[in-house]
Amino acid sequence: MPHEPKKKHSKAVKRIRRASIRLEAANLIVCKNCKEKTLAHMACRSCGFYAGKQTREIKQKAIVTRAN
Ligand SMILES: [Zn+2]
């Protein structure tokens, strides 16, 4: 059998606990190569540069034209 809580938590205790559960904004920095906003400590998503070097290839998205 699992352990049971000895006493019921009050509404205030529940609300204090849940008040700290929230999303935080991502730490965005400006890429030095393309001036695009990108995540810190990660290779740039738009140009693939990290620490002044090309670290990964960026595939150009194929332009799809719909024939109606
Ligand atoms: Zn970039």
User: Considering its fold, how many domains does the chain have in total?
Assistant: 1
Whether pTM exceeds 0.75: no
Q: How far apart are CA 46 and CA 54, in angstroms?
A: 11
Confidence of residue 9 (pLDDT cuts 50, 70, 90): very high
pLDDT tens per residue, range 12-66: 999 999 999 998 888 898 988 888 898 988 888 888 888 888 887 777 766 666 7
Is residue 5, in this structure, part of any structural domain at all? no
Centre of ligand 1 from the C-alpha of residue 39, in Å: 10
Is residue 37, in this structure, part of any structural domain at all? yes
Residue 15: the pLDDT is: 96
> From residue 13, how far is each of 5, 6, 16, 18 by CA, in Å?
14, 15, 5, 9
Residue 21: the pLDDT is: 93
Q: How far apart are CA 6 and CA 35, in angstroms?
A: 56
Is residue 52, in this structure, part of any structural domain at all? yes
CB atoms closer than 10 angstroms to residue 31: 19
Q: For 6, phi and psi rounded to 5 degrees?
A: -70, -35
Centre of ligand 1 from the C-alpha of residue 6, in Å: 55
Centre of ligand 1 from the C-alpha of residue 26, in Å: 17
Which residues sit with Cβ closer than 5 angstroms to ligand 1, an ion? 31, 33-34, 36, 44, 47
Q: For residue 31, give its domain range.
A: 24-59
